[in-house]
Amino acid sequence: MTAIHTLTPALKQLRLSGILDSLEARNHQAIHGKLAYTEFLALLIADEVARREQKKFASRLRRASFRADKTLDAFDFDRMPGVNRSQIADLATGRYLDEKAPVLIVGPCGTGKSHLAQALGHCAVRQGRDVLFTTQSQLTASLHAARAIGGFDRKLQQLARIDLLIVDDFALKPIRSPHDEDLHELIAERYERAATIVTSNLDVAEWSEAFTANKMLGAATVDRLRHGAHRVVLDGVSYRTPRVMPEAPQSTVAKTSKKP
């Protein structure tokens, strides 16, 4: 039995499958390259670290619940000539995450707000942050459902601890009671403690109008979102331009006149 076969059960027991996957290849590399024992060991450990990091990344990406694989590389800045690319590049570094600052992305339908929000979310995931992408409707529904079964506090703390919460389509629908209270509690809990990205078709000044039952509560919620926020305005050609349908061919059948 070779040394590699002897090591296999021990490596599996220690959950070092990254080393196991590359052990034979690294062994050949060490022999032909005449590597020192420490160099050989360093290669094996690097393989294991890379495997674990990739596993963590895949797990964070799955928990983020992105709708699609939207990245900054795929974002068409040419459609948004007025957008500040330097600002986007700065946001991509994740500095706002350390600041615990909100990012407010506003603009008309189809200008790429959700794409940009998810792209920044992808950057955060790659930086080792926990991210959750959701819509306002989904978020308030999940909080309401948790309250109905007596698990609101637990759900609230779970959402409050996420490094980056992305709320898409904010104020798209009226926020009625008790959803307005649930949303306010969450925003208040995250205020200056964790970063939140919000996208909306409406200007920030109009957001409080969505709180139809309690305008004062709405103003307090929006005030926390606005404080210290980075604001991104997208104003360009919609991505969702409809296709031009081909014209129907004209009939070539000659019309015959009726005889009197």
Question: What confidence tens digit (pLDDT) does each residue in 29-43 have?
Answer: 998 999 999 999 999
User: For the segment 105-145, what is each residue's pLDDT rounded down to a tens digit?
Assistant: 999 998 999 999 999 999 999 999 999 999 999 999 999 99
Residues whose CB is less than 8 angstroms from the CB of residue 37 and which lie 6 or more positions away in sequence, other chains included = none
Q: Above 90 in pLDDT, residue 245? A: no
% residues pLDDT > 90 (the chain): 66
The burial class, CB within 10 Å (0-12 / 13-18 / 19+), for 144 is middle
Whole-number Cα distances in Å, 42 to 12, 19, 22: 19, 11, 12
pTM value? 0.81
- Give residue 240's pLDDT band: very low, low, confident or very high (50, 70, 90): low
Average pLDDT over residues 18-31: 85
| Cβ within 8 Å of residue 79, ≥6 positions away | 111, 112, 236, 237, 239
Question: What mean pLDDT comes out for the span 77-99?
Answer: 93
Choose the weakest-confidence range: 63-67, 160-164, 252-256. 252-256
Which of 52-61, 99-108, 117-126 is predicted with the least confidence, judged by mean pLDDT? 52-61
For 180, other C-beta atoms within 10 Å of its C-beta total 21
In whole angstroms, what is the distance from residue 185 CA to residue 210 CA? 16
Compute the C-alpha angle 199/235/201, nearest 5°: 30
Q: Which residues contact 211 (CB under 8 A, 6 or more apart)?
A: 175, 180, 217, 218, 219, 221
Look at residue 19 in the predicted model and tell me its pLDDT: 83
Residue among 173, 180, 182 at smallest CA distance from 148: 182
Q: Write down the mean pLDDT value for the chain.
A: 89
Tokens of 112: 């790429």
Which of 9-18, 118-127, 233-242 has the highest mean predicted lDDT (pLDDT)? Answer: 118-127
| pLDDT at residue number 86 | 95
Higher-scoring residue by pLDDT: 213, 186: 186
Domains defined along the chain, listed by start: 3-62 (no CATH), 77-233 (3.40.50.300)
Report whether pLDDT(239) > 70: no
3-state secondary structure 172-222: CCCCCCCHHHHHHHHHHHHCCCCEEEEEECCCHHHHHHHCCCCHHHHHHHH
Is residue 260 pLDDT above 90, yes or no? no
